[in-house]
Structure formats: structure tokens, C-alpha cells
Structure 1
Amino acid sequence: MIIGVPKEIKNHEYRVGMVPASVRELINHGHEVIVETNAGIGIGFTDQDYVDAGASIINQASDVFAQAEMIVKVKEPQAVERAMLREGQILFTYLHLAPDLPQTEDLIKSKAICIAYETVTDDFGGLPLLAPMSEVAGRMSIQAGAQALEKSNAGRGMLLGGVPGVEPAKVVIIGGGMVGNNAAQMAVGMGADVVVLDRNTNVLRKLDAQFGNKVKAIYSTADALEKHVLDADLVIGGVLIPGAAAPKLVTKEHIKNMKPGAAIVDVAIDQGGCIETSKATTHAEPTYIVDDVVHYCVANMPGAVPRTSTFALNNATLPYILQIANKGHVQALLDNKHLLNGLNVIDGQVTCQSVAENLGFEYVDPAVALIN
């Protein structure tokens, strides 16, 4: 199979779909890899590094899309990239379709085979290709929040951990999953007063066992959420419903009544955000103010630490890339029910139920769509 790796073009996106070591694995399995020139430059890999791994360097993205049977990316294809997709071509990347009607419509029109990292599952009920970026984003959320609290950024002018004799900042984390857990680790490490809200008692027990009295693990009700959000200096939104748009848990009214200069980091922004006042921002302009509350809503947070993020992502995606390349997409998807869950769009049909429900499309069972 010919696998194409284009250079990412989203604002301040420096990650790359495959590192040279991953390329070498595919070459060793008898496949051909074509890489757009300078695709890896943002994480310190030159074209020569890819050539040494066995790849061919292509000068233009249009030629990568034209030649490749499978495109491996990091971020969702931008409009100019979606226009280059063709019928029967495999796209393997993050998609986050539920809040993105234009992208979904373009992928349907392309009749490409679109497999989303974020809806691939595993035997433990997890999302193995989303997990590494959730780990990175969760940890980064505390760094971003700490900066947002600085007075020069219109924040309250607070140090997360305080100093002896001065109370630390209160960090409220909504959602105790992968993002929330990693955010809690960083916030605890910085000495903050940490509260995590979740509706899964098993998650709360896990947090209690992991952090003890360093984290207050609270069952999330409307009352508890309002109480803690209004008292927070920093709120981290880490709620995820796989494949679906994030629920708006923090309302405009909550924002109006938060402390002036408080900060919000909405990690769920890729899925539309769990804060009602959230709108996607970029690393170029990461924050904005609503009712004196600083909002940080960068839609590709891990792109700011691209080397760490790319290696973590490649470790997770490479086995699936090999399955698709070695078997072809039909057999690979039929053989692996978890990979099949990643199929969002094929031949103009929407095969992710959450996406179909959120955007009003007819849902087609992925196994049925695959064999028809």
C-alpha cells in the first residue's frame, strides 16, 4: 500500500502523522511511504531523516493526496485538504465530526474511507488513540490555566500553589477521565487546591485511591457543579462523550457569576466544548474574555508540544496503520471490532451513531456499510 504523510497546515500545528521510525516499520512490511517535504521539521526531523527510513519526499501536498492510497494525519483535514480526497481513499486521523457539519459534509461528498482516531476503542472500554493526546492536553491544561491566571493575561494574578502564608488557587476539574486525571496530577504537583467532579462513582473511587486527601473527588450534580465552579479560580473542562458533541455543563449564567479574573481551559473544545461561552481559539490567539473570565479554548493544545505529542501518538497509531496497510481496510476493519468503531464515514455514509445523531444524518451500521 502507498501511505501518504502530508504536512499539517492547521494554525500552529507542528505534529506529523508519522515519525521516521514508524515509516521504517511500514517499509519493512513491504509498503511504500511518501512524505510531503518538511512534514516533520516542526519536531526536528528533516527530509533526509525520512529518506534514510525509506520514504520518498514529495514537494506538494496535492501530489501526496493524488498518489497515496491511505493518508495518515494528525488533525482533521482542512477544507483545502478535504477537496483533495477521492473516492475509496483511506483517511486515518483525528476527525471530531460531531460539532463540525462542514467537514462531515465534505467527507461524505468525497466518498473516502474516513477512520477517526478518537472513536477507536479497546477491550477495556477505553479510547487508545485519544488517550495519549488526552494525557498531554490534561497536563497542558494546568500550565495554560496557570498562565491565564497571571495579571498580564487579565487573570486574577494568582500563583496556583500560593506561597507559605498565602492560600493556593482553587482548581475545579470537570470530568475525572484521562484529561481530568492528568490535570489533577499536575495541579496537585503545583500545590493547588484541587476538586474533581464526575458522575461515575468508580472514577471517583479511583481518584480517591490515587490522590487521597490531595484531591476532593465530588459526585457531580447541578448543585455541586455550580457551587464549585463559582468558587473556582481555574476551571478545567475535561468532559468527553465518545464521538458526540460535549454537553454544555458550565452555562453563561455560571460565567457571569464567577470571580473576576478567574480562568477556564476547555479541553473539550475539539468536540464543541463543555462551557457554553467557549469558542475554538488557536495558539496564535489562545484566550479571550467573557464577563471578566479568561477563556483558553485552543483546539489543538498538544500541538504546542509537538515532539512529545507526535511520539506518544505514533506509539498508539502504528499498530493500526500496519493492520490497515497489511490487510487492506475491509479485512482490517472486519477483523478488529475496535478499529471498526473508528469508521465514521465511508462511501458517502455516516457510520458513527453519535455523529449521525448530532448532525441529523442517517446512521448506517459500519459493518453493513463495509460489505455493501
Structure 2
Amino acid sequence: MIIGLPKEIKNNENRVALTPGGVAELIKHGHTVYVQAAAGLGSGFTDTEYKNAGASILSAIEEVYAAAEMIVKVKEPISSEYSLIKEDQLLFTYFHFASSEELTRAMMERKAICLAYETVEKTDRTLPLLIPMSEVAGRMAPQEGAKYLEKPMQGRGILLGGVPGVKPANVLVLGGGVVGTQAAKIAAGLGAHVTIMDINLARLRELDDIMPANVDTQMSDAYNIREAIKFADLIIGAVLIPGAKAPHLITRDMLKEMKPGTVLVDVAVDQGGCIETCQPTTHENPTFVIDGVVHYCVANMPGAVPYTSTLALTNATLPYIVQVANKGWKGACLINEDLKKGLNVVKGEVVYKGVAEAWNLNLTDVNEVLAAAL
């Protein structure tokens, strides 16, 4: 198969979809890989390293899209890339369709095959291609929150861990999944007092067993959230419904109940956000203030630590990419149920329930689409 690795062009996105080592593995399996010039520089990988791994370097993004049967990316295509996508071309990347109707309709119009990292799902309900970036974003969230709690950043002027004789900050984490668990661990490690909420009592029991003494667990419901935000200095939104929009757990009217300078970090912003007032921001302009509350809503948080993120992403995605390249998307999805669940849009048809429901579109059975494609 001919695989294309374009340079990411979303604002301040420095990750690249594959390391030179990942490219070498594809070459070993007999595939051809085209890498756009400078695609890996933001992550610390040079064109020479990709050449030495066996890739061919192309100067322009248009050349990469024109040559490739499968495009491997990190982030969803942006509007300037839509016209480059060919009918029947496979795109394997993070799409987060439920947060963008424009993107969904554009991919339907291009009649591409859209395999989304974030909905590839194992039989135990885990999301193997989302986990590494969730781990990065979860660990970054308290780090960013601590920075924006500083007074020059319009925060409350609170040190997350406090000092002897002064209480630490109160951190509220909404969601006990991968992001929430990692966020709670880091916030606790910095010395904050942490409360982590979830709707799953069994999960709360697990967290209660593994978390340090400065982490409390609490059942997530509207009353408990409304009470907790009154005392929180940093609130981290870590809610995920795979492939669907995140629910708004904090609404606009709740901001007035928070202390001025409270910081909100909505890691769920890729899926529409779990804080109603959050809108996607960039690393260039990461925050805005509403009713005295600082909102940090960067949609590609791991892009700020691209070396770590690119290695972690390649570790997870490479076995799936190799399988798709070896078998073709149809063959791979027929033998691998994990990959089949990654199909979101196929040749103009929406085949993932969460995406269809998000934009009130017709849902086509993925098995029918696969049968018709054979």
C-alpha cells in the first residue's frame, strides 16, 4: 500500500503521525511511504531520519495526498485539506466528528473512508488509540491549571500544593476514566486536595483503593457538582462518551457560583466539551475569561509536548496501521472488530451511531457497507 504522512497544519500542532521507526516497520512489510518535507521537525525528527528509514520525501502536502492510498495523520483535516482528499482514499486519524458538523459533511462529500483513532474499541470497551493521548492530556491538565491559577494569568493567585501553614488548592476532576485518573494523580502529586467524581460506583471504589490520601472520591450528580464548584480552585473536565458529544456537566449559570479566578480546564473540548461555556482554543491563545472564570480549552493539548506524544501515539497506532496496510481497510475491518468500530464515515455514509445522532444524519449499518465494498 502507498501511505502518506502529511505535515500537520492545525494551529500549533507539532505532532506527527509516525516516528521514523514506525515508517521503517511499514517499509519492512513492503509498503511505500511518502513523508511531507519537515513533517516531523516539530516532534524532533528530521527528513534525513525518515529517508534513512526508507521513506521518500515530498515537498508539498498536495503531492502527499495525490500519491497516497492511505493518509495517516494526528488531527482531523482542516478546511484547506478537504479538496485534497480523493474519493475512496482512506484517512486514519483523530476525527472527533461529533464536535464538527462541517467536517462530517465534508468527509461525506469527499466520499472518503474515515477510520477514527478515537472510536477503535476493544472487547473490554477500552479505546487503545485514544488512551495514550488521554494519558498525556490528563497529566498536562493540572500542569496547565497550576500555571493559569497564577495572578498574572488572571487566576486566583494560588499555589496548587500550598506551603506549610497554608492550605493547598482544591482541585475537582469530573470523570474517573483515563484522563481523570491521570489528572488526579498529577494534581495529588503536586500536593493539591483533589476530589474526583464519576457516575460509576465500581470505578470510584477502584480509585479510592489506588489514590493517595489527598484524593477523595464522590458520586457525580448535578447537586454534588453544584456544591463542589463553590470551593474548587481548579476544575478539570474529563468526561468521555466514545464518538459522541460530551454532556454539559457545568452550565453557564453555574459560573457565578465559582470564586473569581477559578480555572476550568476542559479536556473534553474535542468532543464538544463538558463545560457549556468552553469553546476550542489554541496553544497560541489558550484561555478566555467569562464571569471572572478562566477557561482553558485547547483542543490539542498533547501537541504542546510533541516528542512524548508522537512516541506514545506511534506505540499504539502502528500495529493497526500495519494491519490496515497489509490487508486493506476492508480486509482488516472484517477480521478485526476493534478496527471495524473505528469506521465513522465510508463513501458518503455515516456508519457510527454517535456521529449520526450528533448531527441528525441517517445511520448506515457498517456491516452492510463492508459487504457492499467487497
Which band: TM-score by shorter chain? over 0.9
Task: Tell me which amino acid in the other structure corresponds to 1:273.
Answer: G
Q: CA deviation at 1:73?
A: 0.1
- Aligned mates of 2:358, 2:162 — CA distance in 1: 43
Q: What is aligned with 2:200?
A: 200
Secondary structure (helix, strand or coil) at the match of 2:345 reads: strand
Q: What is aligned with 2:279?
A: 279
Change (3 A) 1:288 1:10: same
Contact 1:280 1:299 in 2 (8 A): yes
Residue correspondence of structure 1 range 44-193 to structure 2 within 5 A: 44-193=44-193
- Aligned mates of 1:358, 1:297 — CA distance in 2: 21
**Runs (4+) of structure 1 moved beyond 6 Å?**
none
- Aligned mates of 1:43, 1:354 — CA distance in 2: 32
Q: What is aligned with 2:24?
A: 24
Count of residues paired in the alignment: 372
Q: For residues 114-135 of structure 1, what are the alpha-carbon distances to aligned partners after superposition, in whole Å with 9 as ceiling and x for unaligned?
A: 0000000012210010000000
Secondary structure (helix, strand or coil) at the match of 1:236 reads: strand
The more displaced of 65-74 and 210-219 is 210-219
- Aligned mates of 2:79, 2:370 — CA distance in 1: 26
Q: CA deviation at 1:61?
A: 0.3
Q: CA deviation at 1:212?
A: 4.8
- Aligned mates of 2:214, 2:367 — CA distance in 1: 46
Q: What is the TM-score normalised by the length of structure 2?
A: 0.99
Task: Tell me which amino acid in the other structure corresponds to 2:192.
Answer: A
Matched, 1:218 2:218: yes
Structure 2, gaps ≥5 residues long: none
Contact 2:5 2:73 in 1 (8 A): yes
Task: Tell me which amino acid in the other structure corresponds to 2:332.
Answer: A
Residue correspondence of structure 1 range 309-348 to structure 2 within 5 A: 309-348=309-348
Identical pairs, percent: 55
Contact 2:43 2:307 in 1 (8 A): yes
Q: What is aligned with 2:238?
A: 238
Q: CA deviation at 1:299?
A: 0.3
Contact 1:146 1:159 in 2 (8 A): yes
- Aligned mates of 1:325, 1:212 — CA distance in 2: 44
Task: Tell me which amino acid in the other structure corresponds to 2:77.
Answer: P
Q: What is the TM-score normalised by the length of structure 1?
A: 0.99
Contact 2:192 2:214 in 1 (8 A): no
Q: For residues 64-94 of structure 1, what are the alpha-carbon distances to aligned partners after superposition, in whole Å with 9 as ceiling and x for unaligned?
A: 0000000000001111112211111100000
The more displaced of 211-220 and 189-198 is 211-220
- Aligned mates of 2:45, 2:313 — CA distance in 1: 16
Contact 1:249 1:274 in 2 (8 A): yes
- Aligned mates of 1:196, 1:228 — CA distance in 2: 10
Q: For residues 240-283 of structure 1, what are the alpha-carbon distances to aligned partners after superposition, in whole Å with 9 as ceiling and x for unaligned?
A: 00000110110111112100001000000000100011010000
Secondary structure (helix, strand or coil) at the match of 2:172 reads: strand
Q: CA deviation at 1:214?
A: 2.5
Task: Tell me which amino acid in the other structure corresponds to 1:79.
Answer: S
- Aligned mates of 2:214, 2:165 — CA distance in 1: 18
Structure 1, gaps ≥5 residues long: none
Q: CA deviation at 1:213?
A: 2.9
Secondary structure (helix, strand or coil) at the match of 1:250 reads: coil
Contact 2:232 2:258 in 1 (8 A): yes
Q: For residues 129-174 of structure 1, what are the alpha-carbon distances to aligned partners after superposition, in whole Å with 9 as ceiling and x for unaligned?
A: 0000000000100011001100000000000000000000000000
Contact 2:188 2:212 in 1 (8 A): no
Secondary structure (helix, strand or coil) at the match of 1:213 reads: coil
Secondary structure (helix, strand or coil) at the match of 1:98 reads: helix
